[in-house]
Amino acid sequence: MVRDIAPRLVGRRLGRARLSHDNVLHGVSRRSLLAGLAGTTVLAMTRRAKNAVIVTDRRRLIIQPGMTGSMLVTERPTDDDLRYGVLRVALDDGRTFIYHDVRRLGTIRWADQAAWERFSAFLGPEPLDPAFTPEALGRALGGSRAAIKKVLMDQRHLAGVGNIYANEALFFAGIDPSKAARRLGPDDHRRLHQHLVRILRAAVDASGSTIRDYRTGTGEPGNFQLKLMVYDREGEPCRRCGTTLAGTHAIDARITVFCHRCQR
């Protein structure tokens, strides 16, 4: 999303902003956000964990699109854009930046430097950062007694890994999702690191996953080309060994699907 949007947003001066709902705001009032955005210039757009970070000459607009949010920059907003656009901002080139969120599960922050540093410091390392090694993964998982699946998805330990990718990486690494994180050894860290990075890269290259409502920055549907091995396949045969895949909500209240035989 950031990769698609950044070239259309960086260097633009922001005009009038409109917000349809206040319940997506975190730590900022409607009034401060709308007044703050108007007249700023976008200097850069990056990503941290699952957040798009739009750096302006005043503050950072941090958008966490959640499961259903998406962003686009368009010349002609459609009826849907007007209906579901939570935040709409006029740009000085005549286009409009729109943050869509049908179910409003995402969040919007308007952070000054100190708030940004606190926000970012709270989050774990980035799996796609070149400095992220198997040893760094081992340190990130630390001595947690919690199940590895739960720790992988905890943004304080590791940034940006969602449920699909946690399920898939654990399958490829052959690790039981309920195993305590601290019981993993260097060899587990090496395999898990390899598959996490591979799967996240492939998903980014394919512009996101098959999540419903997902749209790329140009408004196109996501196009996740990876063949899912376990996620969404509970009760179906393992693609590797044929064992019926098991599903549980006991680890972290989200669905975890795994193969008893391949992930011991």
Nearest-approach distance from CB 263 to Zn ion, in angstroms: 7
Tokens of 197: 């990075």
What residues form DSSP beta bridges with 87? Answer: 19, 99
Cα-to-chain-centroid distance, residue 168: 16
CB-nearer residue toward Zn ion: 140 or 262: 262
**Closest residue by beta carbon to Zn ion:** 238
CB-nearer residue toward Zn ion: 211 or 241: 241
Nearest-approach distance from CB 233 to Zn ion, in angstroms: 11
DSSP H helices in 67-162: 79-84, 113-122, 134-141, 148-153
Nearest-approach distance from CB 148 to Zn ion, in angstroms: 18
Pairwise CA distance, residues 229 & 172, whole Å: 8
CB-nearer residue toward Zn ion: 223 or 244: 244
Contact, 221 vs 154, CB < 8 A?
Answer: no
CB-nearer residue toward Zn ion: 93 or 236: 236
Pairwise CA distance, residues 22 & 29, whole Å: 8
CB-nearer residue toward Zn ion: 33 or 262: 262
Report which DSSP code applies to 230. Answer: S
CB-nearer residue toward Zn ion: 137 or 262: 262
Tokens of 132: 């992220």
Nearest-approach distance from CB 264 to Zn ion, in angstroms: 10
Sequence-distant (6+) residues with CB within 8 A of 180 are: 144, 145, 146, 147, 148
Nearest-approach distance from CB 261 to Zn ion, in angstroms: 5
Pairwise CA distance, residues 94 & 185, whole Å: 55
Residues that bind Zn ion (CB under 5 A): 238, 240-241, 243, 259, 261-262
Nearest-approach distance from CB 260 to Zn ion, in angstroms: 8
Cα-to-chain-centroid distance, residue 117: 19
